[in-house]
Amino acid sequence: MTSSSTPELISVIVVGAGFAGLTAAIECKRKGCSVVVLESFKELKPLGDIISFGGNAGHIFQRWSGVEEQLDPICHSSDRIAFYDYHGDHIYTQVWADGVEYGKKFNGHRGEIHEIVYNHALSIGVEIKLNRKVTEYFETDTEAGVITNGEKITADVVLAADGVRSTARKIVLGYEDKPKSSGYAIYRAWMPSDDLAKNPLTAHLVNDGDKHVGYLGPDIHFLAASIKNGKDFSWVLTHKDKADVEESWSAPGDIEDAVGVVDCWAPIVHAIIRATPQDKLVDWKLVYRDPLPTWISPKARIALLGDAAHPFLPTSIQGASQAMEDGVTLAVCLELAGKVNVPEAVRAYEKIRYDRVRAAQKTGETTRDKWHKTDFDRVRANPASIKLPREKWLLDHDAEAHAYAMYADTAASLRPDAEARP
Ligand SMILES: Cc1cc2nc3c(=O)[nH]c(=O)nc-3n(C[C@H](O)[C@H](O)[C@H](O)COP(=O)(O)OP(=O)(O)OC[C@H]3O[C@@H](n4cnc5c(N)ncnc54)[C@H](O)[C@@H]3O)c2cc1C
C-alpha cells in the first residue's frame, strides 16, 4: 500500500541518522514524502559492535530492495544459544525454531549494518546532510522546524531520532530531562577470532560455523558470539556499576578490570576476555530513562522516536527493532493522514506505539533479573526456565500492516468529538 502519488508532498525533517532516523526517512520516502535527514556526525564510520534485530525488524529490512542480500553474509548465523553457569557447567541449549516462524532476525556489527541501511537510504533518494547538529526545535500550528549550524529549516513535521541523549526531549516535555545510570555497565568487544582459534579452550567457538553462548552468574551475564562463519567474534559482559553517566559514558575498557569482574568464573570466560586486543574493549555505561509521559510536542508537529523516546536495556534485545518500528509507523500515519492532518498522524503514531513499546521495554528488565538473580537449584530442576523469551506478540509483528490496520480507528478516537459519538 505504498504510493508515490500523494497529491501534496508532506515535508519531513528527520534529526539523527541512526536506525530510527534512517528507517523513518526510508519509509517516509517510500510513501511519497519529501525527506531531509540532519545528522551531527561528520562522516559515516563503522561505529559500535554487536547489535541485534528481531523478526519484527526483519520484516522491515526484507521490504528494502537488496538489503537482506547484503545483510546475510555479515550477520551471525546459528539457530541456538548454549547457556552455562559461571563455573562453566552447561545448563540449557535454546534452539531458535520459533525464530523462523516469527520472522528473520539479523545480528551483526552495528557499523556494518548501519552502512548498508545508510546506503540504501541514499539509493532511494533520501537526502542526508552530515555535520548538521540540531541545536533548537520549534513549532507553530502549521509547521515545525529546527536550527542547525545557524540555519533555520522548516517542514510539515520534525521527526527527532537523536538518540538516548536527545535534546528534542526538551520541547516535547517542556523541561530538561537528563539520562540516568541504569546501575549497570557493559564491557563489550568486537575482534578478529584468530587468537581464539589457536586456544584449545575457545577454538570450538570459532571453528565449524557461528556459535552463541551465555554464562550467567550473580548480577552479571556474559554473552559471546562468533560471526561471519567464525571469522569475527563479539562479547558483552553486563555487570553492576556505580559510575556517573554524566562523567563517563563510554570509555576504553581495561582487560584486567574486565577479568576482575568475573574473577572466579570459568577459565573459558577469562580466555575470551584475555584474547581481546586492548584497543577493541569498550566500557559502556548503560544509560536509562524513565518512561516519558509523551513522545510528541504540544502542537503535535514534532515526534520523538527510537532511543530519544524510549531507551531499552540490552536484555530486551529490542531497542533497535522498536526504533525501526517507530519509523515505519510514523510513515504510515503521515501517508494516511495527508498533509492537512499532520498533527493527527503524529498523535496516532504515539497512541499506536506507546503500550507496545512499554511492554517490550519491560521484557529487558525481566530477562536481566532472571539471569542476574538465578537460583541455580531451581534452574537445574527446570533448565528451560533460563531461556530468552521469544514471544509471538513481540517478534511476529509487522509494524506496517499493524499501522495500516489501526490508523483509522486510532485517529477517530483522538478527534475532539470522539467521546460524544455513540
Ligand atoms: C555511535 C553509536 C554506536 C552504537 N553502538 C551500538 C552497539 O554496538 N550495539 C547496540 O546494541 N547499540 C549500539 N548503539 C545504540 C543503538 O544504535 C540504538 O540503541 C538503537 O539502534 C536505536 O537507534 P536510534 O536511531 O534511536 O539512536 P542512535 O543509534 O543513538 O542514533 C541517534 C543519531 O542521532 C544523532 N544525533 C544526536 N544528536 C543530534 C543532534 N543534535 N543533531 C543531529 N544529529 C544528532 C547521533 O549522532 C546518532 O547518529 C550505538 C549508537 C551509536 C550512536
229 dihedral zone (left: phi>0; alpha: psi -120 to 50; beta): left
**Contact call for residues 17 and 122 (beta carbons, < 8 A):** no
Nearest CA to ligand 1 atom 29: 18
Ligand 1 close to Cβ of residue 395 (< 6 A): no
pLDDT at 172: 93
Single-letter code of the amino acid located at 25: A
Distance (Å, whole) CA 286 – CA 243: 10
Ligand 1 close to Cβ of residue 49 (< 6 A): yes
Of 393, 311, 279, the residue nearest 18 (C-alpha):
311
Active site residue 188: yes
Architecture of domain 180-288: 2-Layer Sandwich (3.30)
DSSP string, 102-152: T---EEEEHHHHHHHHHHHHHHTT-EEESS--EEEEEE-SS-EEEEETTEE
Nearest ligand 1 atom to the CA of 308 is 26
> What is the distance in A from the centroid of ligand 1 to the CA of 163?
5
> What is the distance in A from the centroid of ligand 1 to the CA of 56?
19
Nearest ligand 1 atom to the CA of 148 is 42
Taking CA 407 as the corner, what is the angle to CA 405 and CA 411, rounded to the nearest 5 degrees?
A: 150
Nearest ligand 1 atom to the CA of 133 is 42
Mutate which of 23, 27, 36, 51 for ligand 1 pocket (most atoms within 8 A of beta carbon): 51
Ligand 1 close to Cβ of residue 221 (< 6 A): no
Ligand 1 close to Cβ of residue 323 (< 6 A): yes
pLDDT at 97: 67
- For residues 126-146, b (16+ Cβ closer than 10 Å) or e, as one string? bebeeebbbeebbbeeebbbb
pLDDT at 422: 47
CATH topology assigned to domain 11-78+104-179+290-371+394-414: FAD/NAD(P)-binding domain (3.50.50)
Boundaries of every domain in the chain: 11-78+104-179+290-371+394-414, 180-288
Distance (Å, whole) CA 243 – CA 251: 11
> What is the distance in A from the centroid of ligand 1 to the CA of 416?
36
Active-site residue, selected from the candidate residues 188, 347, 353, 390: 188
Mutate which of 26, 39, 281 for ligand 1 pocket (most atoms within 8 A of beta carbon): 39
pLDDT at 303: 98
> What is the distance in A from the centroid of ligand 1 to the CA of 67?
20
Taking CA 368 as the corner, what is the angle to CA 365 and CA 373, rounded to the nearest 5 degrees?
A: 120
**This prediction's pTM:** 0.94
Q: What is the torsional sign of CA 255, 258, 262, 268?
A: negative
* Residue partners of 416: CB distance under 8 A and separation at least 6: none
Q: What is the pLDDT along the chain (422 residues), one digit of tens a residue?
A: 444 444 579 999 999 999 999 999 999 999 999 999 999 999 998 888 999 999 999 999 999 999 999 999 999 999 899 999 999 999 999 997 655 668 899 999 999 999 999 999 999 999 999 999 999 999 999 999 999 999 999 999 999 999 988 999 999 999 888 777 778 889 999 999 999 999 999 999 999 999 999 999 988 999 999 999 999 999 999 988 876 655 445 678 899 999 999 999 999 999 999 999 999 999 888 877 778 999 999 999 999 999 999 988 888 889 999 999 999 999 999 999 999 999 999 999 999 999 999 999 888 888 888 887 878 888 888 988 888 878 889 999 999 999 999 999 999 999 887 655 44
Mutate which of 23, 38, 162 for ligand 1 pocket (most atoms within 8 A of beta carbon): 162
Ligand 1 close to Cβ of residue 47 (< 6 A): yes
Ligand 1 close to Cβ of residue 17 (< 6 A): yes
Q: What is the torsional sign of CA 385, 388, 390, 391?
A: positive
> What is the distance in A from the centroid of ligand 1 to the CA of 18?
5
Ligand 1 close to Cβ of residue 307 (< 6 A): yes
Ligand 1 close to Cβ of residue 40 (< 6 A): yes
Give the count of beta carbons closer than 10 Å to the beta carbon of residue 252: 10
Q: How far is CA 36 from the centre of its chain?
A: 22
